[in-house]
Amino acid sequence: MKLDVNVLRYLSKDDFRVLTAVEMGMRNHEIVPSELVDRIAGLKHGGTYKVLKNLLKYKLLHHDRSKYDGFRLTYLGYDFLAIKTLVNRGVFTGVGRQIGVGKESDIFEVAQEDGTILAMKLHRLGRTSFRAVKSKRDYLRHRSSFSWLYLSRLAALKEFAFMKALEEHDFPVPKAIDCNRHCVIMSLVQGYPMVQVKQLQNPETIFEKIIGIVVRLAEHGLIHCDFNEFNIMIDDEEKITMIDFPQMVSVSHQNAQMYFDRDIECIFKFFRKRFNISFQEDRDDETEVEVDENSRPSFYDITKDANALDRELEASGFTKKEQNDLDKFIEGGLEKSTDSDEDEESDDEEQTFESNEEGSLNEMESLQLQEEEQKRSDEVEAEVELDDNEK
């Protein structure tokens, strides 16, 4: 998917007002009825409908007429809302090239006023795990606000919270700068993912260091759950940085030991294959570096602070309920943990969820709407500031 930030310049205050209205409607509607968008946006003289056309043209919205006439945000639309908010906050001023395509994210460089380059991670939950979502439909049916938008926001919030907490405990992670919606801004890591590295000066030292990180994480009550050569960055000085945290779990998780062992095994396997480190008997190969297989850490032998995770998350404002919602979704992907990108091309069209609403407002929704309208006026004011400055 392209992220043409130039479009930002063509978007007016009203465009953002309507885009924000659709976002709000999506809190209780998978597809937001046109009249509802119009009511939330509150533009005069049918202005909303003209603006909706413009937003469709730029693919910030998706028009759906299957059940009733309505709209939903595309990922691009959600991207723009987050980017605009962060630019308004002065976090960065421009978006540069794409530097990473993860399984469920897109990573871009962004530039600050003084030229500092940061990394922006846009979470895209549901992009590759759509099938997992489908199988969880029963669960989703009871949650009107459950959507890729909600999940991606939670993933970003969790990642941001962890990055901060891990940094405070001196783990080698990017510096967490800011977070909005599904977007995390962090320092740019120099170097490359381990998977691209063919040679190391000191493979055993790096190996020990990496295993040490997994163990120390467990001591702090955490398991990465996707700890592998794709999520470990290394620079020319062979400095390690670990990335990608939305799937982390507590050591008190029922499958904790399995996840821990799997993380450890990934590292053993990678170093065995790539750097010829042998963990068992001497294979008469002079070039092989030996590491004692008994050095494989045992989950049970580690003294773990199992509540650390909960404490950190609570402190960051990430509620238990949000944590459960996200875990429910991620679990399906965790069980198999494939790196397959077979669903990569699935576009926004596929990411719709079963609708569980009738399309008309009930009393509860009307009430919520009133509250949201109140909030909306504050938020929209903040969101549109940039446009005013540009004109």
Binding site for Mg ion (CB under 5 A): 102, 230-231, 244
104 touches, from ligand ADP, Mg ion, none (C-beta below 5 to 8 Å by class): ligand ADP
Looking only at the bridges linking them, the beta strands covering 277-278 and 289-290 are parallel
Angle between helices 75-88 and 148-168 (to 10 degrees): 40
Which member of 41, 60, 119, 234 binds ligand ADP (CB under 6 A)?
119
CB atoms within 10 A of CB 308: 18
174 touches, from Mg ion, ligand ADP, none (C-beta below 5 to 8 Å by class): ligand ADP
Which member of 8, 110, 157, 189 binds ligand ADP (CB under 6 A)?
189
Considering the complex, state which of residue 343 and residue 357 has its C-beta at the smaller distance from ligand ADP. Answer: 343
Q: Determine, following the binding rule CB under 6 A, whether residue 99 of this chain makes contact with ligand ADP.
A: yes
Which member of 1, 3, 7, 107 binds ligand ADP (CB under 6 A)?
107
- Residues 192, 196, 201: CA angle, nearest 5 degrees: 80
Calpha distance 248→265 (Å, rounded): 17
Smallest separation (angstroms) from ligand ADP to the CB of 350: 18
34 touches, from ligand ADP, Mg ion, none (C-beta below 5 to 8 Å by class): none
Smallest separation (angstroms) from ligand ADP to the CB of 244: 4
Q: Which two tokens stand for residue 328?
A: 């429910």
107 touches, from ligand ADP, Mg ion, none (C-beta below 5 to 8 Å by class): ligand ADP
Which member of 33, 102, 203, 221 binds ligand ADP (CB under 6 A)?
102
Smallest separation (angstroms) from ligand ADP to the CB of 195: 8
- Residues 374, 378, 384: CA angle, nearest 5 degrees: 135
Considering the complex, state which of residue 47 and residue 100 has its C-beta at the smaller distance from ligand ADP. Answer: 100
100 touches, from Mg ion, ligand ADP, none (C-beta below 5 to 8 Å by class): ligand ADP
Taking residues 233 to 262 in sequence order and writing x for each that binds ligand ADP by CB under 6 A, - otherwise, the string is ----------xx------------------
Q: Determine, following the binding rule CB under 6 A, whether residue 193 of this chain makes contact with ligand ADP.
A: yes
Find out whether 111 and 49 touch, Cβ atoms under 8 Å: no
Which member of 174, 203, 221, 333 binds ligand ADP (CB under 6 A)?
174
Q: Determine, following the binding rule CB under 6 A, whether residue 333 of this chain makes contact with ligand ADP.
A: no
Handedness of CA 306, 307, 312, 316 (dihedral sign): positive
Smallest separation (angstroms) from ligand ADP to the CB of 207: 20
Angle between helices 13-25 and 47-57 (to 10 degrees): 90
One-character DSSP codes across 53-104: HHHHHTTSEEEE-SSSSEEEE-HHHHHHHHHHHHHHTTS-SEEEEEEEE-SS
Which member of 20, 48, 74, 105 binds ligand ADP (CB under 6 A)?
105
Smallest separation (angstroms) from ligand ADP to the CB of 226: 7
Quick one: which segment of 34-42, 71-79, 104-112, 273-281 binds ligand ADP (CB under 6 A)? 104-112
**Residue 325 annotated in active site:** no
Q: Determine, following the binding rule CB under 6 A, whether residue 230 of this chain makes contact with ligand ADP.
A: yes
With CB atoms as reference, the residue minimizing the distance to Mg ion is 244
The CA–CA distances, whole Å, from 55 to 9, 21, 24, 63, 78 equal: 13, 12, 16, 10, 12
Q: Which of 38, 79, 226, 325 is catalytic?
A: 226
Find out whether 170 and 157 touch, Cβ atoms under 8 Å: no
Q: Determine, following the binding rule CB under 6 A, whether residue 162 of this chain makes contact with ligand ADP.
A: no
105 touches, from Mg ion, ligand ADP, none (C-beta below 5 to 8 Å by class): ligand ADP
Calpha distance 200→207 (Å, rounded): 10
> Helix, strand, coil % (nearest 5) of the chain?
45, 15, 40
Residue 302: exposure state from Cβ atoms within 10 A (0-12, 13-18, ≥19): middle
* Residue in this structure with the two tokens 């040679």, named with its chain if needed: 199
Q: Where are the beta strands (DSSP E) in the chain?
A: 32-33, 61-64, 70-73, 94-101, 105-111, 117-123, 176-180, 183-187, 192-193, 222-223, 232-234, 240-242, 249-250, 277-278, 289-290
**Active site residue ranges:** 226
Q: Which residues bind ligand ADP (CB under 6 A)?
A: 99-100, 102-105, 107, 119, 121, 174, 186, 188-189, 193, 230-231, 243-244
